[in-house]
């Protein structure tokens, strides 16, 4: 693994090429080399979200894990949503960091492709905390393919169900419980702007998230609900999804001007910002965190 610093912007984070490390989806953090940085040792809170309640999907690992750690250290209680038994260890690790921050944590394992599961997440949260302040729709599925013939109808539909339909279900059922001034933050992607031809279903779903974010933001403001809806567009980020879904992950992130993938810790502060009062005049926006890749 190459870790040479090319500039101050690259900081201490590793740069490709990485070692070959194939995993089966959805992947596990403890099998990754280098291990992703979720801000475990670096993120320091400032009570920006004190007393808030945040639901975060895909919070077992990657971006979701980093956001959960950061929001907990900012004073929020966290509902950690994830899907598979194989992710139990990662999810429990996230829970431990939330508890160490002095906040409450709920682990919820379930398939958010099903509307009834999304409804249960909302009901459990309200039953426990009596409110919702922040909803982070972060869970996603992707798989790389060389041509269209490799993409089955089942995979196409599943990609949209995980990435987009679940987002709609959660927002739909959470809307009544999110108080005025609350925040919905959706994870889109640089692929919404510059789609990767090996990630056709994923890229299309991320573009749809961009549209949904803008549309809902307008709708909620016009209706006087007072809920802000925004999105974050990550570039390449070093998470378990990468070695489990991308065959040439040794070179992942080389196509950015910074020459490396982001670490999850570099995304978390953007989500915290959008959820905080500092972003009170921001709605319908997408903030790109792409390592310099252009999003216009």
257 near 292, Cβ under 8 Å?
yes
Could you confirm whether 202 is annotated as catalytic?
yes
Pick the catalytic residue: 97, 193, 202, 271? 202
Distance between CA atoms of 265 and 42, rounded to whole angstroms? 9
d(CA 241, CA 252): 12
Which residues have a Cβ under 8 Å from the Cβ of 38 and sit 6 or more positions away?
65, 66, 69, 263, 264, 265, 268
Q: Please give the helix or strand (H or E) that residue 216 lies within, else none.
A: helix 200-222
DSSP character string of 129-177 = HS-EEEEEE--------SSGGG--HHHHHHHHIIIIIHHHHHHHHHTTT
* CB neighbourhood size of 129 (10 A): 18
Give ∠ CA 61-22-152 in degrees, rounded to 5. Answer: 85
Residue 153 · residue 201 · CB < 8 Å: no
Q: Which residues are catalytic?
A: 202
């Amino acid at each position: 693994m190459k870790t040479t610093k090319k500039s101050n912007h690259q900081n201490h984070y590793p740069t490709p090429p990485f070692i070959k490390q194939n995993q089966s989806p959805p992947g596990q953090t403890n099998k990754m080399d280098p291990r992703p940085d979720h801000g475990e040792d670096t993120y320091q809170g400032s009570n920006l979200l004190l007393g808030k309640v945040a639901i975060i999907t895909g919070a077992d690992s990657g971006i979701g894990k980093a956001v959960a750690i950061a929001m907990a250290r900012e004073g929020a209680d966290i509902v950690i949503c994830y899907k598979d038994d194989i992710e139990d260890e990662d999810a429990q690790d996230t829970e431990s960091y939330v508890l160490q921050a002095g906040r409450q944590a709920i682990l919820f394992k379930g398939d958010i492709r099903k509307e009834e599961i999304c409804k249960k997440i909302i009901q459990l949260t309200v039953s426990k905390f009596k409110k919702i302040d922040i909803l982070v729709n972060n869970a996603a599925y992707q798989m790389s393919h060389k041509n269209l013939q490799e993409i089955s109808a089942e995979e196409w539909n599943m990609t949209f169900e995980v990435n987009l339909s679940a987002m709609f279900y959660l927002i739909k059922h959470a809307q009544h419980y999110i108080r005025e001034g609350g925040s919905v933050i959706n994870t889109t992607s640089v692929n919404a702007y510059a789609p990767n031809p090996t990630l056709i279903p994923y890229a299309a779903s991320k573009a749809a998230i961009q549209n949904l974010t803008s549309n809902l933001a307008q709708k909620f403001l016009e209706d006087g609900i007072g809920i802000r809806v925004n999105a974050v567009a990550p570039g390449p980020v070093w998470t378990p999804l990468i070695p489990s879904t991308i065959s040439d992950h040794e070179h992942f992130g080389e196509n950015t001007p910074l020459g490396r993938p982001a670490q999850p810790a570099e995304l978390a502060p953007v989500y915290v910002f959008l959820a905080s009062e500092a972003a009170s005049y921001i709605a319908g926006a997408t903030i790109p965190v792409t390592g310099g890749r252009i999003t216009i």
